[in-house]
Structure 1
Amino acid sequence: MFFQLPDDDPGFPDPALAEEDGLLAIGGDLSTERLLIAYSNGIFPWFSEGEPILWYSPHKRCVIYPDKIKISKSMQKILNQEVFKITFNQAFAEVIRNCATTERKGQVGTWITNEMQDAYINLHQQGYAHSVDVWLADRLVGGLYGLKVNHVFCGESMFSHVSNASKAALIFLSKMNIDLIDCQLPNDHLMSLGAEMIDRELYMELLQAP
């Protein structure tokens, strides 16, 4: 059973009550207050255009421990040659818009709706959301964005217009002052880079650690 969120209360039910697929609640809004409460409790919005806002808290979480990220020899060579210029928080709006518009295999449309973009750009302007920006000859060719909660970076999405650009962004992120990269849900690309699945209980311990 999932919960209908009231409009006048930004709080959430206990994430442990989420359905098997992780769906916890429906409704509410994408206000800064509600989003910050959500991420601090291991909850994130995920819905398509035309749907009500859906809030998820998976029972198993896909994460990457920074010291366990897998860097192939060919990727290390690219990093050593400094093929890409990588910046932090220099192109947040462009990164999220590219994440929204980049076509992905097996995906029709995007869950990063205009409403979502506006909400996260607002979070960025208030210092809560961040981007890693990957450049090639002064052209933005890859990147990722998400929120930092304590020592966990809650990744939302990434994109790549040239080979290895999103990998470079993720590796750059792993070198920052974080203990965990939250990837939310698994896919083959993330698992090949060293992602693993952990229980929600462990994830919450890491998320809320001072």
Structure 2
Amino acid sequence: MPVPFPPVEPPPSEWELGRLRPTPDDDLVGAGADLAPGTVLAAYRAGLFPMGLGVDGGRPLGWWSPQPRGVLDPDAFRERRSLRKARARFEIRVDTAFQEVVRRCGDPEREGRWITDEIAAAYAELHRLGWAHSIETWREDRLVGGLYGIAIGGLFAGESMFHAERDASKVALAALVDLVRADGDPRRIIDVQWATEHLQRLGVAEWPRERYLDALAEALHAPPIDFGSS
């Protein structure tokens, strides 16, 4: 089924997540609420994202605003020659296997698992409404890597990525960068939540929370990213 564009705005949330205020040195802002589409979108628009506080990401729900925040300015992406060569080994598809990408990202064998069935169902509904997208790497008609996240205006909030072959997730990220910077709007950003060493080698930087929130306000007013859906 084609992903709607523009996305369908769901009913507003009954929770006022935008009023939550983080303490200076705490990533966790609040707990509770629900994963209704309107709630999740309101959270991203306020600089928050959900991740459970229980075992393997179970309830209660936590709402997070990292300090500092991992952010990739598309123009800061570092594409080394080895990655440019790796791109030729894979085919990029968008939104053709969203739920499978989420399932692979939430593999119970992965260390630090946090993607529960409830999270997967919530993002599947956001995908159906046109807000959540997957960037996929395929080889010989097999899904071998990918990432997924939420797109609102010029923001892409990355949630998770996986690879079954070397460089497959990095190639998916490179393809995402191409989409985000396609029209050259400098307000667009890619939020990666926390900056790992691996992501920092690709150009992700750690931004103070206030800098991220200021950039988010600009990004939300940028033209929406074109994922080629109809």
The question of a shared fold, defined as TM-score above 0.5 by the shorter chain, is answered with yes
Question: Are residues 1:84 and 2:87 paired?
Answer: no
Q: Distance in 1 between matches of 2:129 and 2:179?
A: 20
User: Which residues of 2 match residues 71-150 of structure 1 at below 5 A?
Assistant: 71-79=79-87, 82-101=88-107, 103-104=109-110, 107-108=111-112, 110-150=113-153
Q: Distance in 2 between matches of 1:189 and 1:102?
A: 22
Structure 2 gap segments, 5+ residues each: 1-12, 182-187, 222-230
Structure 1 gap segments, 5+ residues each: 1-7
User: Which residues of 2 match residues 1-210 of structure 1 at below 5 A?
Assistant: 9-12=14-17, 14-18=19-23, 20-47=25-52, 48-79=56-87, 82-101=88-107, 103-104=109-110, 107-108=111-112, 110-178=113-181, 179-209=188-218, 210=221
Point out the more displaced range, 89-98 or 199-208. 199-208
TM-score, length-scaled by structure 2: 0.81
TM-score, length-scaled by structure 1: 0.88
Partner of 1:175: helix, strand, or coil? helix
Q: Distance in 2 between matches of 1:113 and 1:49?
A: 6
Evaluate the alpha carbon distance shift between residue 39 and residue 175 of structure 1 in structure 2; reply closer, same or farther with a 3 A threshold.
same
Give 4+ residue runs of structure 1 displaced > 4 Å after superposition.
Answer: none
Deviation at 1:205, TM superposition (A): 2.0
Deviation at 1:17, TM superposition (A): 2.4
How far does the alpha carbon of each residue in 1:8-32 deviate from its partner, in whole angstroms, 9 at most, with x for none? 8321154542462310111111000
Whether the 8 Å contact between 1:15 and 1:42 is mirrored in structure 2 is no
Report the AA paired with residue 153 of structure 1.
Answer: F
- What residue in structure 2 maps to residue 3 of structure 1? none
Point out the more displaced range, 16-25 or 88-97. 16-25
Whether the 8 Å contact between 1:18 and 1:58 is mirrored in structure 2 is no
Whether the 8 Å contact between 2:58 and 2:116 is mirrored in structure 1 is no
Report the AA paired with residue 83 of structure 1.
Answer: R
Give the paired residue count: 198
Point out the more displaced range, 17-26 or 112-121. 17-26
Whether the 8 Å contact between 1:134 and 1:142 is mirrored in structure 2 is yes
Report the AA paired with residue 76 of structure 2.
Answer: K
Q: Distance in 1 between matches of 2:172 and 2:155?
A: 16
Whether the 8 Å contact between 1:155 and 1:183 is mirrored in structure 2 is yes
- What residue in structure 2 maps to residue 5 of structure 1? none
Report the AA paired with residue 74 of structure 1.
Answer: S
Evaluate the alpha carbon distance shift between residue 24 and residue 174 of structure 1 in structure 2; reply closer, same or farther with a 3 A threshold.
same
How far does the alpha carbon of each residue in 1:40-97 deviate from its partner, in whole angstroms, 9 at most, with x for none? 0110011234431111112311011111111111111222xx2100011111011000
Partner of 2:149: helix, strand, or coil? strand
